[in-house]
Structure 1
Amino acid sequence: MKKTMIWFIGALLLLTSCAPNMNKDEVVQEKESNSNEEQAIVPSYQLSEDNYKMILPFKPGKARGVIVTQVANRLDIDEVEEGLRRHSKSVFDPKKHLFQEGQYIDEETVNKWIDGLNPKKKEGAPEKYYRDNPRYLSHILEQNYLVKKDNKVSLAGISIGIAMKSTYQFQTETGGPTYEEDISKSEMMKQANKIANKLLEDIRKIEGLENVPIMMAIYREEDQSSPVPGNFVAKTNIPADSSSVGEWDSIKEKYVLFPSEEGKEDYFEDHELVTNFGKEIASYFPNYVGVVGEGFYVNDELQKMTLEIPIEFYGKGEVVGFTQYAYGLVQEMFSDHYGLEVKITSSDKLESIIYRNPGSKKPTVNIL
């Protein structure tokens, strides 16, 4: 008995020594844009190696809120931020860099750029003027990437997202009808290149950004009413000692709605998969409304499929039963080489979620 107790205590001590210490967040000195230093905390854990750690306390971006007044589609607002962070990973490795919202470009500067880099609005100008002079630029987003060295964090580089319109909406008079002018991708890129060069010229004049690497990326928005967001179309890396924008690398990615004519025409197999998934559910659950899917593609390869299933429930048992059935269908019907997320909702309330990372054999289920 005594030997058993000694062994148990020894094992417990070993496990304790190996267990993660949740209190090992690191206190560091952060150099501010005005050259002052403040204490900051680097968390000891991150969600995954693909996600950036964020230093604490959280500091909102200096231009926070501007994007909401400039970009009409809520889905675009989210994708500009998430997509820019995703593309930044190829330049600023999440294993070596920390993330922080933009601390150098403030609201006044962003608004000045948007007004100055777009054609002027002319009250009472004819419709033709606005069609010939669309306002291409919607927003400029800054993200900061930091490195830690000798108990200090400092700026390693920044990413700049340039959000451009695909459709320009305008009025020739206050309260008058709203018109639309489509903007081709080629014309958008031509204008974006001019805007990027002017932005870089101004950015290099900002204290703290004179000599840092910059990743710039161009985002093409979707229509205001689109059920899927737009996407980034090009990016370029600007060395720390450069004040000119080089060649743009094309980005081939897009979000596709399922079911839709575009999905059926361009990604027929995935379109049929979502359709058949909906049919299987409909055959067992009379309260089923329909499945809405969104596929994210890079170089025409599916990276993630998101499905939302709205249904009317009359008890928790029904939620559990439905989720179990959907879980079984997911395992039977969907390949594991891409990410998958299934949201089961009722009256705009999330009831349960099934998700699976690429390569995982079994999905994870959360019933809320």
Structure 2
Amino acid sequence: MLRKIAIWLTGALLFMTSCSPNMNDDEVVKKEDETANQEPSIVPSYQLSNETYKMILPYKPSAARGLIVSQMGNRLDIDEMEEGLRRHSKEYYDPGTYYFQAGQKLSDDLLLTWLEEDLTDKQIEDEVQARIDKRKEDKKDVNEDIIEEIRKSVIEEETKGLNPALKDNPNESDYRNNPRYLSHILEQNFLKKNKDNTVELVGMSIGLALKSEYRFQTETGGPYYYEKISQEEMLKQGKQMAQTILERIRKMEGLENIPIMFALYREEAQGSSVPGNFVAKTGVEGSDASIGEWDAVKEDYILFPSDEAKEKYYDDTQIVSNFTNEVAQFFPNYVGVIGEGFYINEELKKLTLEIPIEFYGKGEVIGFTQYAYGLAKEMFPDHFDLEIKVTSSEKLESLIYRSAGVSNPTVHIFH
């Protein structure tokens, strides 16, 4: 009997071992620009899903790491900009074929230069004159040819800013007529493995974060002013900037023939409860030096409850409202459900709800989570992803989540 049990346990162990992830299956690859004394790069053999890119390890931070935080004012926009660009890249770079890497080609210093304002004609001439005066001080020759060389040099070196030029000592009208459209430029890289087990850069995605509202001061410490930017004007400016960026990238070593996907992201106003969204994208072949047609992107993040939600998506608003009313009957100290809907082509793809309640014990957490689980099954259709967060003032208490097409949600209660 003991021998039979031992055989059974040995067989079960072998079965479980064969089914468990084997870290030795991870691929060891070499990037084309790695030196001989660098550690080998690893590509994990497993990915979270077919929709998720494998990433090369050890993780290499972006060449412009952290810059996005200082350039975009809303944390929600930062997250959506990064995740959304990767999501849209899947149309051009299949996660089953390509590896993902944070952008390595556009440094923070380079991007900061591109994000500056351009120079006015007067500012260019002032800089030319300053360089001429310096040559005279140094007792160097100055003639028409040298002046022309200086002017070309100033234009080449000093007019890299993609935002509109502002004259010296601008007033309120100058700011309003020349808003700072561009907040940030985000680069993502996509690599492919060769037969000799090396990986090389074979594609890029470039996202441009553009303002929907320009906030400015006319003097340090003075009041803030706001200028709305229409989507039409934002698109016009963004497309022109993308073309300029493409021309500059094509002059960079190793990027002359890289396919590039460009996407334009419209930021929400600072302090918004929902992020902005991508509004246009286009792909450029490796041999192209100009951008052709752009595809409109119809995405939207909607806050529940809100007048916008009621106006655009009345039926969904009613479902969320009915759910809120049912929750209110369970808890007398209930403060309200806050929701966010993500729509593509006016179809709800994901609904996230947060229920902030003051709890007085783990029993209440369990009881309420069971109640909310039942409501979720009964009230929400299964054609979209659903996430319900039950929170207290201290932490996330429980989570109910469900992927589209799944009947029964999954529940996790945190301890």
In the alignment, is the contact (CA less than 8 A) between 2:335 and 2:356 conserved in 1? yes
State the alpha-carbon separation in 1 of the partners of residues 305 and 15 from structure 2.
54
Cα distance in 2 for partners of 1:129, 1:12 equals 74
CA distance in 1, matches of 2:353, 2:173: 42
The answer to whether residue 149 in structure 2 is matched with residue 148 in structure 1 is no
Native 8 Å contact 1:253 1:299 kept in 2? yes
Q: Distance in 1 between matches of 2:396 and 2:167?
A: 46
Query: 1:31·1:37 contact (CA, 8 Å) conserved in 2?
Result: no
Alignment check: 8 A CA contact 2:115 2:183 kept: yes
Using the TM superposition, name which of 200-209 and 138-147 deviates more.
Answer: 200-209
Looking at structure 2, the residues matched to 14 and 329 of structure 1 have their Cα atoms a distance apart, in angstroms, of 40
Q: Give the structure with higher Rg (CA).
A: 2
Deviation at 1:31, TM superposition (A): 2.3
Which residue is 2:228 aligned to?
Answer: 182
Cross-structure match for 1:360: 406
The count of corresponding residues between Structure 1 and Structure 2 is 368
SS in 2 for 1:13: helix
Deviation (angstroms), 1:310: 0.5
Cα gap change, 1:204 to 1:287, in 2 (>3 Å): same
Q: What's 2:367 paired with?
A: 321
2:318 is the counterpart of 1:272:
yes
Q: TM-score, normalised by structure 2?
A: 0.85
What are the ranges of 5 or more consecutive residues in structure 2 without an aligned counterpart? 117-160
1:220 counterpart = 2:266: yes
Residue type of the alignment partner of 2:391:
T
Equivalents in 2 of 1:20, 1:34: separation in Å? 30
**Aligned residue runs from structure 1 range 254-293, under 5 A:** 254-293=300-339
**Residue in structure 2 matched with residue 339 of structure 1 by the alignment:** 385
Partner AA of 1:268 in structure 2 = Y
Counterpart for residue 241 of structure 1: 287
- Specify the SS of the correspondent of 1:56: coil
CA distance in 2, matches of 1:211, 1:35: 26
Worse overlay, 116-125 or 302-311: 116-125
Relative to 1, partners in 2 of residues 1:14 and 1:75: Cα closer, same or farther, differing over 3 Å? Answer: closer
Deviations 1:247-279 (A, max 9, x none): 100000100000000000110011111111111
The answer (yes or no) to whether the contact 2:166–2:174 under 8 Å persists in 1 is no
Q: Tell me, what secondary structure is at the counterpart of 1:198?
A: helix
Query: Could you state the TM-score of these two structures normalised by the residue count of structure 1?
Result: 0.95
Given that 1:310 and 1:345 are in contact with CA atoms closer than 8 Å, whether structure 2 keeps it comes out as yes
Do the aligned residues in 2 keep the contact of 1:214 with 1:239 (CA within 8 Å)? yes
| Counterparts of residues 1-368 of structure 1 (less than 5 Å) | 1=1, 6=7, 9-10=10-11, 12-32=13-33, 39-115=40-116, 116-122=161-167, 124-150=169-195, 151-347=197-393, 349-368=395-414
Q: Secondary structure at the match of 1:331?
A: helix
- From the superposition, tell whether residues 7 and 106 of structure 1 become closer, same or farther in structure 2 (CA, over 3 Å): same
In structure 2, what is the Cα distance between the partners aligned to 1:207 and 1:33?
16
Q: CA deviation at 1:309?
A: 0.6
CA distance in 2, matches of 1:233, 1:35: 44
Q: Deviations over 1:56-99 (max 9, x none)?
A: 11111011111111111111111110000000001111111111
Instruction: Return the letter of the residue paired with 2:387.
Output: E
Describe the shift of the 1:7–1:352 C-alpha distance in structure 2 as closer, same or farther (beyond 3 A).
closer
Alignment root-mean-square deviation, CA = 1.9
Distance 1:262 1:318, change over 3 A: same
Question: What CA distance in whole angstroms lies between the structure 2 residues aligned with 1:353 and 1:122?
Answer: 53
Q: Distance in 1 between matches of 2:312 and 2:369?
A: 30
* Aligned-pair CA distance for 1:149: 2.5
Counterpart-to-counterpart distance in 2, 1:327 and 1:262: 27
Matched residue SS, 1:283: helix
Q: How far is 1:19 from its partner?
A: 3.6
Structure 1 stretch displaced more, 150-159 or 213-222: 150-159
Task: Tell me: CA distance 1:77–1:94, structure 2 relative to 1, closer, same or farther (3 Å).
Answer: same
Asked if structure 1 preserves the Cα contact closer than 8 Å seen for 2:304 and 2:339, the reply is yes
User: 2:99, 2:190 within 8 Å by CA — same for their partners in 1?
Assistant: yes
**Percent identity at matched positions?**
62
Deviations 1:231-258 (A, max 9, x none): 0000000001111111100000100000
Structure with bigger helix share is 2
Most deviating of 352-361 and 38-47: 38-47
Give, in angstroms, the shift of residue 124 of structure 1. Answer: 3.1
Q: Deviations over 1:132-187 (max 9, x none)?
A: 11111110000011112332211120100001001111111111111111111111
Distance in 1 of aligned mates of 2:18 and 2:329: 54
Q: Work out the CA distance in 2 between the residues paired with 1:251 and 1:267.
A: 18
How far apart, CA to CA, are the structure 1 residues paired with 2:37 and 2:181? Answer: 37
Distance of 2:39 and 2:254 partners within structure 1: 16
More strand by share: 1
Distance 1:4 1:37, change over 3 A: closer
1:354 touches 1:365 (CA, 8 Å); kept in 2?
A: yes
> AA paired with 1:21?
N
Query: Are the aligned partners of 2:166 and 2:178 in contact in 1 as well (CA < 8 Å)?
Result: no
* SS of aligned partner of 1:341: strand
Say whether the 8 Å CA contact 2:26–2:44 is kept in structure 1.
yes
